[in-house]
Amino acid sequence: MGQGSYNPYETAQTQFDNVADLIGLEDSVRQLLRQPIREFHFTIPVKMDDGSTKIFNGYRIQHNDARGPAKGGIRFHPLETVDTIRALAMWMTWKCAVVDIPLGGGKGGVICDPHNLSKAEQERLCRGYVRQLAKNFGPYADVPAPDVMTSGQHMLWMMDEYEAIHGGHYPGTITGKPVGMGGSLGRKEATGYGVIYTLREALKVLNIDISKTTASLQGFGNVAEYAARLYTSLGGTIVAISCWDNNDKKAYTFRNLKGIDIEQMAQIKDAFGTIDKEKAVAMGCELLPGDEWIAQDVDILLPCALENQITPETFAKISDRVKVICEGANGPTTPDADELIKARKIYLIPDFLCNAGGVTCSYFEQVQCNMNYFWSLEEVLEKLDYKMTTAFHAVHNLAQEKGLYMRDAAYVIAINRVAEAVKLRGWV
């Protein structure tokens, strides 16, 4: 699913190896942590509406569960690859560890395009996915959640199938469910808000007034929308948004140098994040090529869509004015581009810290489900802000103290926590 020749799993392993060398990680621990602890590959037969049966390939990969049940989304995508899922499972382990929640890393996927499936076919696919994994996940083993092109409805079908198989109510089995059916208030805002909580703290330590900053954003799905909403509410100005157009099958960048009205933009996008071009232009936006988001003369870049978007080639387009890169997406920066970011002294908020708000709120949902008591929106967001802020300052302070790049500092904290857990358990 990445761009060009970059393999996301190789990227994740390279990032890990670099920090393993830095901290002198023992070889046995290194070998355990640089690959998934277990993988499930399976086929899912689905009866289609026309009476035919179609076979889908599905995956669930658990990278490490030394600190708690595996946690991670299930994505539906026609270009899904097992290496993408391996990388995302690995990043989930570090994400849970860096914000210090008692979960491990997992990820799942099905090779399919839900745009081409009816609602009934999607339901049968979800239930088939669970039937293949019912013995291998659950509230105390592996807790899935929504991801690319999956939703709370998909999760509810999966939870219902799991409960039917096991004969009881297990709402903590899956997170990202609709509110009122075991879902948590604040979940839709959580990842995007978490991105901006870390950005807010970064601008404080850099002594930059957020109300005087401008930003360019890649993506306008749930994460990007709520990041944009909170950022602009704090006084920042979004001047460009790049998003995929599902009708034209390509991306466009919408630019308004006076600032984009995020509320209006949210009202003219569809469920998949595609913005209505004609209405956006009528609102005063210029229509530019999709990759122009990265070339804008702004203070902050917010890649909140795909992996492998900041490469040496695209980095050459980044304005000298850019001071902060805030990684809302998973794996948006390639390892060779990291070296260029370091050389330019751009402050980077790494993905598995920056976008950890989603898994943190999923953890809150799991806790609430397991105790059958639910918190107010204000309480959820207050706890989320505390977790993200605490994690950010732990990473920033280590980076300052040891002279580390922020991504490396985040990895040092996360890897050390997981390594300690596997040693204490006696696994190595």
Position 184, amino acid: S
Residue that terminates a domain, selected from 349, 378, 399:
349
Does residue 333 lie within any of the structural domains?
yes
Residues 139, 193, single domain; the answer is no
Does residue 370 lie within any of the structural domains?
no
Angle at alpha carbon of residue 331, lines to 330 and 332, rounded to 5°:
100
Q: What is the pLDDT of residue 365?
A: 97
List pLDDT tens digits, range 360-418. Answer: 999 999 999 999 999 999 999 999 999 999 999 999 999 999 999 999 999 999 999 99
CATH at 61:
3.40.50.10860
Residues 167, 227, single domain; the answer is no
Residues 162, 209, single domain; the answer is no
Determine how β-strand 142-146 pairs with β-strand 214-218.
unpaired
Q: What total number of domains does the chain contain?
A: 2
Residues 52, 122, single domain; the answer is yes
Residues 198, 334, single domain; the answer is yes
* 341 pLDDT higher than 70: yes
Does residue 254 lie within any of the structural domains?
yes
Nearest to 197 by CA among 77, 357, 20, 317: 357
Does residue 213 lie within any of the structural domains?
yes
Q: What is the pLDDT of residue 4?
A: 52
Q: Can you read off the two tokens belonging to residue 186?
A: 């604040």
Among 107, 177, 188, 269, the active-site one is 107
Position 116, amino acid: N
- 93/406 Cα distance (integer angstroms): 18
Q: How far is CA 223 from each of CA 122, 205, 215, 265, 352, rounded to the nearest angstrom?
A: 23, 24, 15, 14, 14
List pLDDT tens digits, range 82-135. Answer: 999 999 999 999 999 999 999 999 999 999 999 899 999 999 999 999 999 999
* 1 pLDDT higher than 60: no
List pLDDT tens digits, range 62-80. Answer: 999 999 999 999 999 999 9
Residues 136, 65, single domain; the answer is yes
Residues 221, 131, single domain; the answer is no
Residues 102, 202, single domain; the answer is no
Whether the predicted model's global pTM rises above the 0.85 cut: yes
Establish whether 317 is a catalytic residue. Answer: no
List pLDDT tens digits, range 201-216. Answer: 999 999 999 999 999 9
Does residue 136 lie within any of the structural domains?
yes
Residues 194, 148, single domain; the answer is no
Does residue 362 lie within any of the structural domains?
no
Residue that terminates a domain, selected from 294, 321, 349:
349
Residues 133, 209, single domain; the answer is no
* 272 pLDDT higher than 80: no
Residues 65, 152, single domain; the answer is yes
Domain extent at residue 321: 188-349
Does residue 131 lie within any of the structural domains?
yes
List pLDDT tens digits, range 134-168. Answer: 999 999 999 999 988 899 999 999 999 999 999 99
Residue that terminates a domain, selected from 326, 349, 372:
349
Residues 328, 227, single domain; the answer is yes
109 within 8 A of 76, measured Cβ to Cβ: yes
CATH at 232:
3.40.50.720
- According to the 3-state scheme, what is the secondary structure of 308-334? CCECHHHHCCCCCCCCEEECCCCCCEC
Does residue 210 lie within any of the structural domains?
yes
- Would the CA dihedral through 416, 421, 425, 428 be positive or negative? negative
